[in-house]
Structure 1
């Protein structure tokens, strides 16, 4: 008897939040926002490069494949066979010719990452898309911001002003009012 037992086919539809790279520059995993939360799925090697150049954050996509159960650990593994772009989320405005006017710097050092730094990036991207701000705001990862006690940390740069210790909804509201 094998280590994996095939359970069923899956067909997920959701909002593409971005690639989760870890230490490498490879697009090995993608983050997907679905109705019940967020899912991280490993992409097969043949899909990584084509998707990396064609998908945009905020885009609606459909992912299909097979779910398998590891009989030794009891964990479910998703094997992706295909990804189909469905379009941009309804409030996402395509304004490629505009340069981002604001920047959000998110710490990705170990302390902030352990306390939700990667989830903060996903939540920011989702919130910005919902408010139609994704093309006008750049999210950038940084090293330590020297405020480890209040992790996860981010700094919102709007022109020459900097805002710290803000939640994603408050950031979106601030940016909506000023952009």
Structure 2
């Protein structure tokens, strides 16, 4: 007697993400993808990233590669994904809002307060105050070189900041926000 095996082949499917089925722990179990002809329920393997549900947005275009298994009884086809990529050009990594951290400990008394006020005025004058966040934080551990600031997301540190340096710092780090 001969044992019949199901037909297994690879597939690549580009379609719109219609729905996600997740487990109670947040891991994605199934994707519902649709293309022009039909909808596909695709099983997601456990080796996919744990935060996959946060990376995928309903309505986004996905490219899914995997294996399809044609079952012997009926016309049932099971799809299993081993690679999932977002195709949408509009879904890019969101660039974090630039932030300037001012030391509010000893630096604040040694010119940090003045530098913070001048930076705020310079940003408002250029019309980019809403695009840059200014935060006061605890000690930045360079008290003898006060005042100190850190510009994020580059993590650029500046010490001994003078009031005349503020406009050049704005031009250097925030010019593209104009």
Q: TM-score, normalised by structure 2?
A: 0.42
Q: Which has the higher contact order (CA 8 A, sep 6+)?
A: 1
TM-score (norm 1): 0.42
Please tell me whether Structure 1 or Structure 2 has the larger radius of gyration of its CA atoms. Answer: 2
More strand by share: 1
